[in-house]
Amino acid sequence: MWWYEIRPANVQIEPGRAAFVETTLKPKQKIWFGSKEERPYTLAVRRSGVDPTEVEGTYVQRGFLPRWLATFFGIALALSLAFVMIWIAYKPQVASKATEQTAEAGAALAPSPSAAPETLPSSAESAPVEEPAPQPSTEETADDKDAGAGDGGGGGGGGESEKPKPKSVVPAQNVMLYNTTTKMCAELVGREKGKPDDPVQQSMCIEGDEDNQMWDLEVKYEKGGGPDSLPLFQIRNVKDRLCMDLPNYGAKPVGTPVTEYPCDGTKADNQLWWADKQESGDYWIRNYASNNKCLNVEGNGTGGLDAKLNISDCTNLDDQEWRIVHPKKE
């Protein structure tokens, strides 16, 4: 198949004159590799009222790339595949002889049991120097006695000293509860004081008294939360002085909304919470009365603006991790 172009396609020739026509001829298929090929063609010139005159010619088509380049690519591909197969199949054996060499060196340096020493140390050199036993200082003795008295006199205050416990995140005043998944803060509806049984929600974080997002975490029991008996605290809103609460009393199921109510601060209600630190450094805030369920944002990690807070089973795959933020004072 050919592609051709004749410019101009029609000409008028006066008697005794000659005209030239430019003809372009190209094949539709390229020869990428290989030697040149000769392709014959026929061009017919037709004059009005006369049989056409045929002009025969030969078109020489050359390969786009030389033959040796195709051979080179083929060899390079074969070598690359062979190299990859050898690399995969070959597994070098690496063995360390450091232990064996160390054992041999130790055996060479160890003295023979039958060998007698060439020289004997003098009595002054061979006699061990007796160091005086360390005596406890007066302060240490007093501390030991105090420790023994604190333990009921059972052990006399000996043994290793206890490791200092990490500082508790509660109590805390004028803090914001920042959800690390939704990037929003716990607040009340509107910007003013709330009313008993009003819902608690989340919104864009605003520091200070302009909104109602500041909270006090007030410890009511020093122990009782979780396996480590962590402090139990109530969460009091700074603006209206009401506490985060669940409806009525006692344990509540998953999905129960978090509201606010006058603070009770006892285990008889369900206003006590404890902070469970996670690997991220942030906290699950767990409700003591409701089988330690977590403070949660409605929706599975998709809670948006003004989404309400509730309690749910604790998981790191939802929006239950909170950061207790102390706003910077200007």
Residue ranges covered by each domain of the chain: 2-61, 172-325
pLDDT number for residue 169: 92
Tens place of pLDDT for every residue, the chain, 330 residues? 666 677 777 777 777 777 777 878 777 667 666 666 777 878 777 777 777 878 788 877 676 667 677 788 889 999 999 999 998 887 655 555 555 555 555 555 545 444 444 444 444 444 444 444 444 433 333 334 343 334 444 444 444 556 566 678 999 999 999 999 999 999 999 999 999 999 999 999 998 888 999 999 999 999 888 878 999 999 999 999 999 999 999 999 999 999 999 999 899 999 999 999 999 999 999 999 999 999 999 988 778 899 999 999 999 988 999 999 999 875
Q: What is the DSSP letter of 168?
A: P
CB atoms within 10 A of CB 206: 16
Alpha-carbon torsion angle 143, 148, 150, 152, nearest 10:
-170
Tokens 């509107």 identify what position?
190
- The Cα–Cα gap between 24 and 204 comes to 73
pTM above 0.75, yes or no: no
Contact present, 35 and 15 (Cβ < 8 Å): no
Contact present, 109 and 101 (Cβ < 8 Å): no
Q: What is the DSSP letter of 110?
A: S
The reply to whether omega before 8 is within 30° of 0 (cis) is yes
CATH placement of domain 172-325 = 2.80.10.50
